Structure 1
């Protein structure tokens, strides 16, 4: 029974617990960070946005090189170092009083977060047999969502107090979560690094055109489906429907429950890039269908709009789960053993680019165009769903050949 509820013992389970510890603190900060920066530090919303833009740019530039560092120095050590650096950054936020210091810390946080994710992917790739990698990554994502939900709930008290002391408590709590996560992660098995081929490019992921194309499409799609409920839906309900804004909380609850309880289920039968082809197409088309359902809420009664929103949220989360599973499979399968870290880093680069493009695209379409804007969003997801298969097949044809191992047997958990 336990085996069905948890990933395999050893490194996978260690990573799951480290993720849970860390994301509880992250969830609390995500819920309070903007208010801390504006109401306690005194930054304007424009300055906060500028700092976040600088952080996104830093992530775009440095995520892949940091992933290469993961491959060179080993994922466990780099992950622990990144977690410790992030702990220092969040402690440093308690001393921020100006834009420049906030922007600097935001940049380091963005790069550190991408490094942790790249190291997590590389550790899974090195510690888990290929057939179990996607399932293990699904457990990590499920845990990530559970931790953020718990942290967001815990942030209710600081939000109610709306005081500097309350916000500082969240920051110190998040700092502690990174320190504890570093301790937990240090107990993971050491992953033996695969050798880079002599004369091979240092940043092979950025030269892999099919994978770069996949990372860009995936980054935009992921940022759009993440922003649908958190950004587009609240603005839509308030400006274009008669439905109560509280439906946003209900839709997010549906999404959270789905991500926590169904992500591992959605990963069944998906372990290779070839497996991901139909799953990615299906996921994108399902999210497209949810956009059409959201569009139908315009002008409806509050009761009917509520039913449509909840139905759309349920449809949306199914598409999201399938898309996530497909992404895990492609990222693991197209990367050579010696470059898992940098391929995971390149995937984060795509996500950072998507994070920059999604907010203006969502607000412009949903608020500017109304119902037709939702239809355009549906078309974007549908086109992405049709684009995934040829991109993945292109990647499979161009896949970098593996380096023959000198000794017998695969390397998992650093052991033969």
Structure 2
């Protein structure tokens, strides 16, 4: 293969093919530019522009996360009732309005009202966005399209973070308000993209009424959700635990933390589509979760070595550990997309996708404190039981997914065939 062919192949794994897959990726990037900008500068905006204390900010964000956790499943059921595209569009418009109002918030009560409302709206729109991508595409294209969207999101978040550097350098109230309003504008642009996407009819519902929380009684699927949520803690390990470990247990320079975040972004953009191959079917999704878990366990064994080394060797160990954890992220994400693309029945896809997100949200609540205490506060020995935990989860992934796939979902009399993509009409 010549250099030209190599470049063409590499580009094809980053730039999505023309058509619906590219349209979905472009809207994801536009959305991420605004959110990347806001996330990078939100802490300063809350404290400087709104005059809140760090304690108030933390309390408000925690309460919002709790509300989002409780509402994920019933909010997902709204997608089944009203259609993914409609809920997604309404969610984007509501988010734009809430962000536009942010600079006018006065005091903690106003901040709490906006941040909780944003959590509810974001949960609804997030489920609807995923369900729409699944419904509108053929089964064999869903995971790949979601991989292209993840790559585009990383590009957008990176661009947003770069713009935030300008905002933070200006350090004026006008700049901070403009940052929030820019995000609101990007949400409106994303809404325009959503309006122009193809319409997908709402899946016919069963005559028999089903509770919005009925999906929680699907024990095999919920077990897979919790397992996938545990494995999704690679994000907490990379963004919270790894930096704390670098600062407290190694002689590596602090600037390496930013370099490792940049490395993660670059690898995600370049390799996410390739890492998603084979996860389109139930069996492949289970294997992807297993591989992701094993890679996290390997990371837990590699990282502590950096406390015993010095200089260039420490940096090398940290880079290797970061690469291993990034690969775990890419493969585990593909496995999660494979599960949500194949198992949920069309009529209850929103509820199932919402239920699947419960595992990840529980991880967000428990993992930062738990994994930090185990990995960092113990001085290093805690990485061994952590590696065992993820190793056991990895070994359990395939049989657990197999068990869930052999059981019918809500409203189904037949199960998804192991090894084959779902063919439920969208």
TM-score normalised by L of structure 2: 0.91
The change in CA–CA distance for 1:10 and 1:207 in structure 2 (over 3 A counts) is farther
Q: CA deviation at 1:9?
A: 4.9
Q: What are the Cα deviations for residues 52-105 of structure 1, in whole angstroms up to 9, with x where unaligned?
A: 111111111111112111111111111010001111111121112322221221
User: What is aligned with 2:142?
Assistant: 133
- Structure 1 376/101 Cα, relative in aligned 2: closer, same or farther at 3 Å? farther
Equivalent residues of 1:220, 1:355 under 8 A apart: no
Counterparts of residues 54-73 of structure 1 (less than 5 Å): 54-73=63-82
Once superposed, what is the RMSD of the aligned Cα atoms? 2.0
Distance 1:220 1:94, change over 3 A: farther
Which of 250-259 and 366-375 deviates more?
Answer: 366-375
1:215 to 219, 225, 228: 225
The 1:410–1:355 alpha-carbon spacing in structure 2 relative to 1, beyond 3 Å, is: closer
Match of 2:350 among 333, 341, 344: 341
1:106 corresponds to which of 84, 109, 115? 115
Tell me which of 162, 165, 186 is aligned to 1:156: 165
2:235 to 214, 220, 226: 226
Compare 104-113 and 351-360 and name the one that shifted more.
Answer: 104-113
Q: 1:10 to 1:66 in 2, by over 3 A?
A: farther
Alignment of structure 1 residues 80-99 onto 2, 5 Å = 80-99=89-108
Gaps spanning 5+ residues in structure 2: where? 1-7, 415-422
In the TM superposition, what whole-angstrom CA distance separates every residue of 1:242-270 from its partner, at most 9, and x where no partner exists? 11111111211111111111111011122
Q: Residue 371 of structure 1 aligns to a residue in which SS?
A: coil
> Could you list the per-position Cα deviations for residues 276-303 of structure 1 after superposition, in whole angstroms to 9, with x for gaps in the alignment?
1222111111121112211111032121
SS of aligned partner of 2:406: helix
The alpha-carbon deviation at position 349 of structure 1 amounts to: 2.5
Distance in 2 (CA, whole Å) between partners of 1:31 and 1:143 is: 18
Q: CA deviation at 1:215?
A: 1.7
SS in 2 for 1:388: helix
Matched with 2:376 is 367
Match of 1:322 among 328, 331, 338: 331
- Number of the residue aligned with 1:243: 252
1:138-178 Cα distance to aligned partner (Å, 9 max, x none): 11111111111111111101122233222111101101110
Q: Go from structure 1 to structure 2 and tell me whether the alpha carbon gap of 1:120 and 1:367 turns closer, same or farther (over 3 Å shift).
A: same
2: CA distance, partners of 1:12 / 1:76: 16
1:261 & 1:366 partners in 2: Cα distance? 29
* Residue matched to 1:169: 178
CA-CA distance at 1:8 after TM superposition: 5.5
Q: Which runs of 5+ in 1 are unaligned?
A: none
Cα 1:410–1:60 shift into 2, 3 Å: closer
Q: Does structure 1 retain, via aligned residues, the 8 Å contact 2:295–2:324?
A: yes
TM-superposed CA distance for 1:205, in Å, is 2.4
Structure 2 vs 1, CA of residues 24 and 137 (structure 1 numbering), >3 Å: closer, same or farther?
A: same
Q: Which residue does the alignment assign to 2:417?
A: none
Distance 1:380 1:109 in 2: 34
1:11-410 to structure 2, matched below 5 A, reads 11-203=20-212, 204-222=214-232, 224-400=233-409, 402=412
- Count of paired positions: 407
TM-score, normalised by the number of residues in structure 1: 0.93
CA distances 1:96-134 after superposition (whole Å, capped 9, x unpaired) = 232222122112222222222211221122211111111
Distance 1:294 1:109 in 2: 36
SS of 1:192's equivalent?
coil
Map Cα deviations across residues 275-331 of structure 1 (whole Å, 9 max, x no partner): 112221111111211122111110321211100111111111111111000000111
